[in-house]
A and B are shown apart, each in its own frame.
Chain A
Amino acid sequence: MTFTSDPVRADPSGSDTQQDAATKPRVHSRGVLEYVAWAACALLALGVVHTLFANENYQWSIVTQYLTASTVLRGLVMTIVLTILSMTFGTLIALLLAVLRVSPLRPLRILAGAYITFFRGTPVLVQLIFWFNIAALYPHLAIGIPFTGLSHDINVNKLISATTAAVIGLSLNQAAYQAEIIRGGFASVDKGQIEAADSLGMSRMTKLRRVIIPQAMPTIVPATGNQFIGMFKETSLVSVLGVGELLQSVQLIYARTYQTIPLLIVACVWYLVMTIALSYPQAMIEKKFSRTRARVSNEPGLAPAQDGLMGGEAR
C-alpha cells in the first residue's frame, strides 16, 4: 500500500474490504411514484388487451380478412397519391405565397395575407365541398385575355371531378399553412446574413435563392415532414366527395356488409402503419437538419477553433 496525502483515501479507519471512496458508484433510488405509475399503466394495458380480445364485436377475423382486400389496397394507393399530389402543389404555391408575403410591394403582401387568412380561417372540409360544387358558381371557365374576346371555353362540370376537387382543395389549404412555415423559416435567418448580402450588392432574387432559402431549409424541412404526415390523415376528409381513398373504400364495404367497426379498424391500421412508417424518415430528417442548424449558426462564440476539426465532421 502506498502512502497518499489525499484525505479521502488516507481515511485511517478504512479497511481493505471497504471500497475506495473515490471509485464508489453513485446510485439514485427510484421513487415510490414511479412504481405506482408502472402499476397503473400495466393495469390499463391489461384492461385494453382484455377487451380487445374478449369483446367479440371487434370481429378480428373480419379485420384480417379485409386488411389486404383489393378495394382497401386501391383506397390506400389513392390516399398515398392524394397526399403526394397535394403536398407537392401545396408546397409550390406556398413558396410563392411566402415570397409574396415578404415582398417590398405592399399590395402583394396584402394579397398573400388575405389568401392565408381565408384558407386558414375556413374549415378544410367546407373548402373541399365548395371546390366540388364550384361548377354551380362558375359553370363555364374561359381561358383568355380579359376584355378582348380572345378566349377558350371549358365546361367546369367536366373539368372538376371529385378527385381534382380533392387535390385542388387539399393543395390550396395546405399552401396556406405551408406558406406560414416557409415564412417562419425565412424569419429564422439571421439579419446579419441579409445585411452581408446587401452589402455585396446582391439582388433580391439572388439573396433569396443563395442566402435565405438554403439557410431556412433546416427550419422548413422538418416542419414540412410533419405536415406530410398530417396530410396523410387529412385526405380521409375527401371521402365526403366520394373519392375512392382509404376511408371511402372501407365505407363502401361496410355499407354493404354492415361490419362497420371491423372495417374502420382496417382503415385505422393502415393509417397507423403508414404514419409510423413516415415517422421514421421524418425523425431522421429532423435529426439531420438539427445538426445542420447547429453547424450553420454563425455565432462567433460557437465556432470550434481547433485545427484538428478542419475538413472533418465535427461530431
Chain B
Amino acid sequence: MNGDGTVFARGLRKSYGDRVVLDSIDLDVACGEIVCLIGPSGSGKSTLLRCVDGLEEIDRGILRVNGEDLGFEETETAYRALGRKEIAAQRTRIGMVFQSFNLFPNMTARENVMSGPVLVRRTAKSEAASRADRLLTSVGLEGHGDHYPWQMSGGQQQRVAIARSLAMDPNVMLFDEPTSALDPERVGEVLAVMKGLAEQGMTMLVATHEMGFAREVADTVIFMDGGFIVEQGKPAEVLGQPKEARTQKFLEKVL
C-alpha cells in the first residue's frame, strides 16, 4: 500500500471528560522519517502515541496510520467504528514500545518475541522461534532466549520488547519514553538499538527526554506543551534556535 509507514493527523483532539489533553494536533510523518516528541510531563506526548497505536480513541479530527483511518471507517456523515478483527489487523502493522516494557512475565524472552507471530498470525512455532532468535541477536541479546523477564536487566527487557514489536513487521514504530525507566548506564544500549532501526529506514515516533538522541537521530523534533504542538522543525532549529518562548524555557531546564 502506498500509505505504508506514514502517519497523518489533522485537527486531532482527545479529552478525558472535561480535560482536553490533545488539541489541534497536525502531523505529517513520511515513510522512514524519525520524529522525536519532546516536552514536559503531561504535555500529551504519550497520549499522542497511544492514540496513534489505537490504545486511546480520539474525539475529533483525522488520524491515518499506514494510509488508513485508524479504528474507524469514514462514511459520508460519520466515522464508523471498525470491527474488532479489523482493528487488530491495523494494530499488527504498528509497533509500540512502552516505558515500562510490559513484557509478558509468564513467557521467556523468545516466547515474548514469538507471541505476536504465533498467537496472532498463527505462524508455525519452529519458524517463529528461529525468527525470534534472529531478532534477539539483532538487538544484541543472542543466547538470552530462554531467560524470563525477571532474570533480565531493564535495558535487556526493553530490547526484548523492541524485538517483540519488530516480530510483527510493523511499518511504524512508536516508542513511549523507552528509556525513562532505565538505570542511566542502561540507556545507551536501548538507544543504540533504536538508532540501528532508524538507519534501516523504519518510520519512528519517539517520545523522549533524551535530547542527545533527538539531536543526533531525529529528522523532525516536535515540542509539545499543554496538549498542543508548540513548535516543530529540524532538530538543529528546534533544539538549537527555538523560536517560541515556551520551547526556550523548557530547553533551558533540560539541557
Q: Which residues of A contact B (CB under 8 A)?
A: 190, 192-193, 195-204, 206, 210-211, 214-215, 295-305, 309-311, 314
Residues on B with C-beta less than 8 A from A314 are: 150-151
Residues on A with C-beta less than 8 A from B103 are: 196, 298
Q: Which of A202, A203, A303 contacts B153 (CB 8 A)?
A: A303
B28 interface residue (CB < 8 Å to A): no
> When the two chains form their complex, are residues B84 and A300 in contact, meaning their CB atoms are under 8 A apart?
no
Q: Closest B residue to A313 by CB, please name it.
A: B151
Q: Which of A201, A202, A211 counts the most B-chain CB atoms under 10 A from its CB?
A: A201
> When the two chains form their complex, are residues B181 and A193 in contact, meaning their CB atoms are under 8 A apart?
no
Bound complex: CA A202 to CA B157 (Å): 21
CB-CB under 8 A for A303 and B104, given A201-B91, A206-B119, A206-B120: no
> When the two chains form their complex, are residues B181 and A301 in contact, meaning their CB atoms are under 8 A apart?
yes
> When the two chains form their complex, are residues A305 and B183 in contact, meaning their CB atoms are under 8 A apart?
yes
B171 CB, nearest partner CB in chain A, Å: 13
Residues on B with C-beta less than 8 A from A309 are: 151
B148 interface residue (CB < 8 Å to A): yes
Q: C-beta contact mask, B82-113 vs A, less than 8 Å → 1, else 0?
A: 00110011111011101011111110000000
Report the interface size for chain B: residues with CB under 8 A from the other chain.
44
Residues on B with C-beta less than 8 A from A195 are: 55, 96, 98, 102
Residues on A with C-beta less than 8 A from B90 are: 201
A201 CB, nearest partner CB in chain B, Å: 4
List residues 167-195 of chain B with CB under 8 A from any CB of chain A.
168, 181-183, 186
B27 CB, nearest partner CB in chain A, Å: 19
Known: A199-B91, A199-B165, A303-B152. 7 other contacts (CB 8 A): A198-B54, A201-B89, A201-B120, A296-B150, A298-B100, A310-B147, A314-B151
Bound complex: CA A8 to CA B250 (Å): 53
Residues on B with C-beta less than 8 A from A301 are: 154, 181
CB-CB under 8 A for A298 and B105, given A198-B91, A200-B91, A309-B151: yes
CB-CB under 8 A for A295 and B157, given A190-B102, A196-B102, A201-B92: no
Bound complex: CA A206 to CA B98 (Å): 21
CB-CB under 8 A for A215 and B106, given A201-B116, A203-B84: yes
Bound complex: CA A304 to CA B154 (Å): 8
Residues on A with C-beta less than 8 A from B96 are: 195-196, 199
B146 interface residue (CB < 8 Å to A): yes
Residues on A with C-beta less than 8 A from B164 are: 200
Nearest 10 interchain pairs by C-beta: A296-B105, A300-B181, A196-B102, A201-B88, A305-B153, A201-B92, A192-B102, A214-B106, A199-B96, A201-B91
